[in-house]
Structure 1
């Protein structure tokens, strides 16, 4: 059975996986057991799925029906591989711009970021398979449909994506308060990838240790930080500002 972009029931989720549907997230009731669930669990273990084990009350809110302890979100979009999006970007421009999201968990923040990325010429958005907000109806609505125009790429680990981009001669910049350098000191005219961090924790330390550049937005007043989607927009438009002469010459 289907409810918007959700399917529920063990058999329905099994059939969706076996038919190749793009499963964005699977919610499983804590302590679930039984032969049919074991079959589903076997299929889930064969792939890379974003799984959350939740109380039954959560599932009751997600699905109005006999969910049998399992609800899955079907993504409205297809995801691309990092190799594919990088190759395509370099076919289009010598100075691509990528956006990496380190565990952005709010679907509306995610949607707002995607919308801004579409407006600023981002070539692809890269985010981890696990720990990210699902691409659901809220994401689609908040993005104003931009999820269908910006390539989305899921990876196992953001750090591996950082290394892959660096090996492709793309500088990786982390937006973080843990630096004295501002975003206005970064040269965005190069092929670049911007890392935005989790709403509460920011960019993880392991990623900060791997990037090429760390930079922050200058802040004044008593508020210590911006909403991540707002900060992302401010930084991406700094990249646009620097790249305007290139745009005029057809560089990007």
Structure 2
């Protein structure tokens, strides 16, 4: 996380909220008892911004300045709404493609995924407001600028996005090692959303129960998992292969 992406101090953060600056995440000092910090948290809840309560050492690492118990991480992009994202893609393409990230936590993995998604024709990326990687300078750099070309939507719960996608006629496929079915036996030629899980836990069990299909990458070595951005690339290029073959 780059320190230049941060706004710190009570009044600067309040001004950022007031001016509708695109705030990705806010860190508040734990157990402060400060009324002004409590006011900031309340305003952020109304805007559905993720708030993390952290020890002072974390805040000290985020900025060299007088943070007064609060640091806001700004986003270099604006987000789109779920309904707008899906309706726009369906209207413009016969076989839209969405990528759903279930709490990817590493900003560089996130950036690499965005870059691959842009190169493979993904129409939009859906992430959860809480628990995922913030969009920082490192994300932008790793994406090689693709983040400015890729619509990104934040939702309260991944499950709600799955329901909405399915209700819109979009097939949902989870990339998971918890299935015997490999990705080469799954059809990716119809409108679909690919769901990728977090680096440590993979896709949450509650999400796995909802999807239409599950698929795994064949792993021939002794290590039982791939880096999530590498796995995502393998899935997306199998999808490209199938769709190009169809045409």
TM-score range (shorter-chain normalised) is over 0.9
Match of 1:37 in 2: 37
Q: 1:125 — aligned with what? A: 125
Cα offset, 1:41, TM superposition: 2.3
Partner of 1:78: 78
The superposition leaves residues 13-39 of structure 1 with CA deviations (integer Å, 9 ceiling, x where unpaired) of: 111111111110001111122232232
4+ runs deviating over 4 angstroms: none
Conserved? CA contact 2:28–2:37, under 8 Å: no
Gap regions ≥5 residues in structure 1: none
- How far did 1:51 drift? 1.2
The answer to whether the 8 Å contact 2:44/2:50 transfers is no
Q: How many residues align?
A: 246
The residue that corresponds to 2:232 in the other structure is 232
Partner of 1:139: 139
Give the 3-state SS of the residue equivalent to 1:83 in structure 2: helix
Q: CA deviation at 1:3?
A: 4.9
Comparing 197-206 with 237-246, which one deviates more in the overlay?
237-246
The residue number in structure 1 matching 2:198 is 198
- Distance, in Å, in 1 between the alignment partners of 2:41 and 2:51 is 11
Residue aligned with 1:184, SS: helix
TM-score by length of 2: 0.97
Pick closer, same or farther for the CA change 1:180–1:3 going to 2, 3 Å: closer
Cα distance in 2 for residues equivalent to 1:102 and 1:155: 11
Q: Does the residue aligned with 1:190 lie in a helix, a strand or coil?
A: coil
Name whichever of 62-71 and 40-49 sits farther off.
40-49
Per the alignment, residue 13 of structure 1 pairs with 13
Secondary structure at 1:4's aligned position in 2?
A: helix
